């Protein structure tokens, strides 16, 4: 059994590709010793491309208004107990200013699907950020917006776009989302983003309600085919005001194992150790990096926004102000043999 799994692991390292069945075998065979073997190889592969470097992104949560009603998400439309906020242009620009001083060279503007942020508003904002900080990248994470909107934001200067596919299985997608959201539209949006020229990121939750090994294998196989520049993977964490309030959270170890597998599929992928990982485990960030992740996204939103951007319960936001968190992060990364760099952190070829 173990020998078979090691054989598959070797094949993955060599070919960067496996069959759906082989991915399922790896996922089923997950245990701590196999995870350590994968993590070690993932670190070696990452080192060849990125050395010791860990990239940081200044995460700005611009709005928790959302027109969608995803069943798992704390900021979904029908959660009447969610206290809504949105940041103004000036507030967002001041987050960038603070972030730049702290050494961030990528700003990630993330939010619910909020019609307040029109193409005109965002294009103007993106142009302003790029003009003020020509050495910075702008990443958007604002949900599905339609191809023309994606194109106009790209032309205004946005470099990257994160849009998790959530699950590559139709039935599972439908069990997590209302009928107006479809996997087909989600995947089309991802293909559009890539075609327009964005460095595009997909991703999924580990341990979301109803998820099976077969579904996870499908996620991995889909990622292998799509070849994203980035991939965000975090454990599912229940939110008290959703139908999944009493479901159990995803597993940190399995999440890290999948990070390693994805690193082996695509050695130069930009792979964050996500906030959800850090929320479930005080050492989650280190564990993610040690499994092969190479990106951390500290939150530079105003403190009031951080607290209200509650996708799931007890979301970690570093505890103190951004400056202190960055200092602490640098030390934590050094302690595991890595180095936080002041760099746009593009995909290295």
Contact between 205 and ligand 5AD by CB under 6 A: the answer reads: yes
* Alpha-carbon gap, residue 77 to 249, rounded angstroms: 22
Q: Which is nearer to ligand 5AD, 22 or 79 (CB)?
A: 79
Q: Which is nearer to ligand 5AD, 199 or 242 (CB)?
A: 242
Q: Which is nearer to ligand 5AD, 29 or 178 (CB)?
A: 178
Smallest distance from ligand 5AD to CB 111, Å: 9
Stretch that binds ligand 5AD, among 43-51, 152-160, 233-241, 289-297 (CB under 6 A): 233-241
Q: Which is nearer to ligand 5AD, 234 or 284 (CB)?
A: 234
Q: Which is nearer to ligand 5AD, 271 or 311 (CB)?
A: 311
Burial 103-120 (b: 16+ CB within 10 A, else e): ebbbbbbbbbebeebebe
Contact between 202 and ligand 5AD by CB under 6 A: the answer reads: no
Q: Which is nearer to ligand 5AD, 72 or 150 (CB)?
A: 72
* Alpha-carbon gap, residue 56 to 345, rounded angstroms: 8
Smallest distance from ligand 5AD to CB 36, Å: 25
* Alpha-carbon gap, residue 177 to 71, rounded angstroms: 6
List 41, 145, 160, 164, residue binding ligand 5AD (CB under 6 A): 164
Q: How is residue 94 written in tokens?
A: 């001041």
List 229, 312, 326, 345, residue binding ligand 5AD (CB under 6 A): 312
List 117, 133, 173, 236, residue binding ligand 5AD (CB under 6 A): 236
Contact between 234 and ligand 5AD by CB under 6 A: the answer reads: yes
Smallest distance from ligand 5AD to CB 203, Å: 6
List 9, 102, 158, 276, residue binding ligand 5AD (CB under 6 A): 276
Burial 121-144 (b: 16+ CB within 10 A, else e): ebbebbebbbeebeebbbbbbbbb
Contact between 318 and ligand 5AD by CB under 6 A: the answer reads: no
Stretch that binds ligand 5AD, among 59-67, 125-133, 236-244, 298-306 (CB under 6 A): 236-244
Q: Where would I find the H helices in the chain? A: 2-15, 20-28, 32-50, 89-101, 119-132, 147-155, 170-176, 183-196, 213-226, 252-265, 275-280, 284-290, 303-308, 322-335
Long-range contacts of 17-23 (CB under 8 A, 24+ apart): 17/224, 17/265, 18/221, 18/224, 19/221, 20/217, 20/218, 20/221, 21/217, 23/216, 23/217, 23/220, 23/221, 23/261
Instruction: Give the total of residues touching ligand 5AD (CB under 6 A).
Output: 12
Smallest distance from ligand 5AD to CB 349, Å: 27
Smallest distance from ligand 5AD to CB 142, Å: 10
Chain Cα centroid distance, residue 299: 13
Burial 220-259 (b: 16+ CB within 10 A, else e): bbbbbebebbbbbbbbbbbbebbebeebebbbbbbbbbbb
Contact between 72 and ligand 5AD by CB under 6 A: the answer reads: yes
Stretch that binds ligand 5AD, among 29-37, 89-97, 172-180, 230-238 (CB under 6 A): 230-238
Contact between 186 and ligand 5AD by CB under 6 A: the answer reads: no
- What are the angstrom distances between the C-alpha of 41 and each of 23, 34, 46, 206? 17, 11, 9, 21
Q: Which residues bind ligand 5AD (CB under 6 A)?
A: 72-73, 164, 166, 205, 234, 236-237, 239, 276, 311-312
């Amino acid at each position: 059994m173990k020998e078979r799994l090691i054989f598959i692991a070797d094949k993955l390292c060599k070919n960067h590709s496996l069959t759906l069945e082989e991915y399922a075998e790896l996922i089923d065979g997950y245990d701590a010793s196999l995870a350590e073997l994968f993590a070690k190889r993932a670190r070696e592969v990452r080192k060849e491309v990125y050395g010791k470097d860990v990239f940081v992104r200044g995460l700005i949560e611009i709005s928790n208004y959302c027109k969608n009603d995803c069943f798992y998400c704390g900021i979904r439309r029908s959660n009447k107990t969610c206290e809504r906020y949105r940041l103004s242009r000036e507030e967002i620009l001041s987050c960038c200013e603070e972030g730049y001083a702290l050494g961030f060279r990528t700003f990630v503007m993330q939010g619910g699907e909020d019609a307040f942020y029109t193409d005109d508003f965002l294009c103007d904002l993106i142009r302003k950020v790029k003009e003020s900080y020509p050495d910075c990248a702008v990443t958007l994470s604002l949900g599905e917006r339609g191809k023309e909107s994606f194109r106009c934001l790209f032309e205004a200067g946005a470099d990257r776009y994160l849009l998790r596919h959530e699950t590559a299985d139709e039935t599972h997608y439908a069990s997590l989302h209302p009928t107006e959201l479809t996997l087909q539209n989600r995947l089309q949006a991802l293909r559009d983003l890539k075609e327009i020229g964005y460095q595009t990121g997909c991703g999924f939750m580990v341990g979301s309600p109803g998820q099976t090994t077969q579904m996870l294998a499908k996620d991995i196989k889909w990622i292998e085919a799509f070849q994203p520049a980035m991939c965000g993977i975090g454990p599912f964490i229940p939110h008290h005001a959703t139908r999944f309030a009493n479901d159990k959270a995803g597993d940190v170890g399995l999440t890290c194992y999948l990070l390693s597998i994805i690193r082996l599929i695509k050695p130069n992928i930009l792979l964050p150790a996500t906030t959800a990982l850090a929320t479930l485990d005080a050492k989650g960030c280190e564990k993610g990096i040690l499994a092969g992740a190479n990106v951390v996204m500290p939150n530079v939103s105003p403190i009031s926004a951080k607290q209200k951007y509650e996708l799931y319960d007890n979301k970690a936001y570093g505890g103190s102000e951004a400056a202190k968190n960055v200092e602490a992060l640098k030390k934590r990364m050094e302690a595991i043999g890595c180095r936080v760099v002041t760099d746009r952190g593009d995909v290295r070829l």
